[in-house]
Amino acid sequence: MPKKKTPFSKDTKFAELLTADRRLLQLLSRFGIGLGFGDRNVAQVCQMNQVNTDLFLMICEIYSDSSFTPGQTELGQIDMSDLLSYLKASHQYYLNERFPHIEEHLQRIIEACGKKYGPMLRHFYDEYKQEVKRHIQYYEEEVVFPYIEALFKGQRTDSYKIDEFEHNHTNIQDVLDDMMNILLKYLPGDILPKERIEISYDIIELSDDLNRHSLIEERILIPCVESLENALP
């Protein structure tokens, strides 16, 4: 099947971009792009909001076409601090918005489960939350990102190298899938079915978003850091 060419360029009307792929809506708050952009094009909107247009377009491409891999020249133009701010904003979005939203739904299901299944579901979720926090906060934000920031300033640290990077998002997605299977297939059918269907939509969306997030780390972040590492004496 021929791949449809993504219509994104600096001259694309910003609004068209969002109709082409609704998932790109999620990117607005992470880039700090406000609404009310009217008929302006991508370059204009990015400039108004002090967003790096190349990085923004590259991330849009990955969101709408998972096979997209930027070339060396494109990667060379990426500003590392912009990329890190984007990744941190995504982390905040997951930790402060998406996960609490899912947890809120889940809490109602847990309460409806009563003593028999409630505590074990709670335990399952709490353990998961710990793992997500460990990876995102204690690992990426406290180990990996500071390392990259130092590298960017030309300081070499021997304690870490990017090829040790934990590709842990797969685990995070696996457990989300497990959670959905438990909610749809295995919990007794009469416990809050409507709520369980709603939470499934949220889980599917989050899992998809996390998938793109790992692609961004694998195809943009890691190659960029590798060339920084190689550039140092």
Partner 1 sequence: MSNRVIICEASEIIAIGLAEIIDGMAQFDVVARLDSPEHLSEKITATDVNLLIIDPMLIGVSNKDFLAQLGKEHPQLTIIALATSYFDHAMLASYNGVIELYETRSKIISKMTEYTQSENTKNTDDVELSKRETDVLVAVAKGMMNKEIADQMNISIHTVISHRKNITRKTGIKSVSGLTVYALLNNLIDENELIP
Residues making contact with partner 1 (CB under 8 A): 1, 3, 65-67, 69, 117, 119-121, 123-124, 127-128, 171, 173-175, 177-179, 181-182, 185-187, 204, 207-208, 211, 219
**Would you say 29 or 69 has its CB closer to partner 1?**
69
**Cβ of residue 117: shortest distance to partner 1, in angstroms?**
7
Contact status, residue 91 vs residue 159, Cβ threshold 8 Å: no
**Would you say 81 or 227 has its CB closer to partner 1?**
227
**Would you say 51 or 105 has its CB closer to partner 1?**
105
**Would you say 81 or 170 has its CB closer to partner 1?**
170
DSSP state of 159: S
**Would you say 46 or 113 has its CB closer to partner 1?**
113
Rounded Cα–Cα distance for residues 196 and 189 (Å): 10
**Cβ of residue 188: shortest distance to partner 1, in angstroms?**
8
Rounded Cα–Cα distance for residues 54 and 86 (Å): 13
- Number of Cβ within 10 Å of residue 123's Cβ equals 10
**Cβ of residue 17: shortest distance to partner 1, in angstroms?**
19
172, HSE (Cβ side, Cα atoms, 13 Å): 24
**Cβ of residue 177: shortest distance to partner 1, in angstroms?**
6
- Using DSSP's 3-state secondary structure scheme, residue 41 falls into strand
Report residue 116 as tokens. Answer: 């028999």
Phi, psi of 130 (to 5 degrees): -55, -45
**Cβ of residue 168: shortest distance to partner 1, in angstroms?**
12
Q: What is the dihedral of CA 160, 162, 168, 170, to 10 degrees?
A: -170
- Using DSSP's 3-state secondary structure scheme, residue 124 falls into helix
